Structure 1
Amino acid sequence: MQRFVAPLPETREVAIMAKAEPSAFVRHIQDELSDLGPVQIDRFFGGWAYVVADKRFAVSIKDRLYFRVDQALKDALITEGCQPFTYEKGGKTVVVHRFYEAPVDCLDDRDALLHWAGRALSAEDDELRG
């Protein structure tokens, strides 16, 4: 006997997410990072992930850039005054220590951006793959 499964109704949020295009900020960062190799951008929760050679090393969420870190990069970014990614859930702040915001000055300085992105790309962490 064949079972009928009704399709889930498409909510406004799902429709928006499915059709979302990268912002000008995301495209700008993608272009700026091109010296690292072909940079793909993929949907990543509510933002976009930057991927080079199958390694997801950075994300943009609400037009803010975060690098995926190992301990050495995390320490360096903390020294620069950078904070981890946070979001609100159930009235509580969730801190995601795997992603730290890029130093503000690197958004206007391509060499600095490539320096930090290169460190994120070469971070010693098997979890960065995929």
Structure 2
Amino acid sequence: MPDRTELEDLFRPFGPVAIKRMFGGHGIYADGLMFALEASGEVYLKVDAESLPRFEAENLPPFVYETKHGQKHSMSYHLLPAAAYDDDDVLKHWARLALEAAYRAAGAKAGKARPKTAAAKKAPAKKVPAKKAPPKKR
């Protein structure tokens, strides 16, 4: 499994990245957005509807994981092309596609979140004088 330094070296031609350990692998971030992940020694890049056809055209498989119940799930990440490990320009091209997909995903999430508006303040409750108890009989 590549370590943090190896992943930083791999993406150095693309620009500065932050590597965070997660789920037995690593999340790879640029500009605060996760655009790649490393799992089981493989690097996967973020895809979306716009970039997916390019990954499929290169027959780059999706990242698939198995749940503890044996179900398989794929995520919106596809394998980094092998040529990207040896060619800085290829790496930059594919990493840029992934970061653009991450930006679009972040923008879509921001658009879904409704801005919180301040609730209209209610007028303070009026103080009503307490009723006096009737005098006690002796």
Deviation at 1:63, TM superposition (A): 1.1
- In structure 2, give the amino acid aligned to 1:81: N
Distance 2:14 2:92 in 1: 8
The aligned counterpart of 1:125 is 105
Is 78-87 or 118-127 further displaced after alignment? Answer: 118-127
Contact 1:81 / 1:103 at 8 angstroms: preserved in 2?
no
Say yes or no: does 1:57 pair with 2:35.
Answer: yes
Instruction: Compute the RMSD of aligned alpha carbons.
Output: 2.2
The aligned counterpart of 2:119 is none
Distance 2:96 2:105 in 1: 14
Distance 2:44 2:86 in 1: 15
Deviation at 1:57, TM superposition (A): 0.4
Using structure 2 for the length normalisation, give the TM-score.
0.67
Distance 1:79 1:118 in 2: 17
Contact 1:57 / 1:128 at 8 angstroms: preserved in 2?
no
Cα 1:52–1:34 change in 2 (3 A) is same
Aligned-pair identity in percent equals 29
Structure with more of its chain in helix, by fraction: 1
Distance 1:84 1:128 in 2: 21
Cα 1:27–1:82 change in 2 (3 A) is same
Distance 2:107 2:34 in 1: 9
Cα 1:60–1:77 change in 2 (3 A) is same
- Gaps (5+ residues) in structure 2? 110-138
Distance 1:57 1:127 in 2: 14
The aligned counterpart of 1:86 is 64
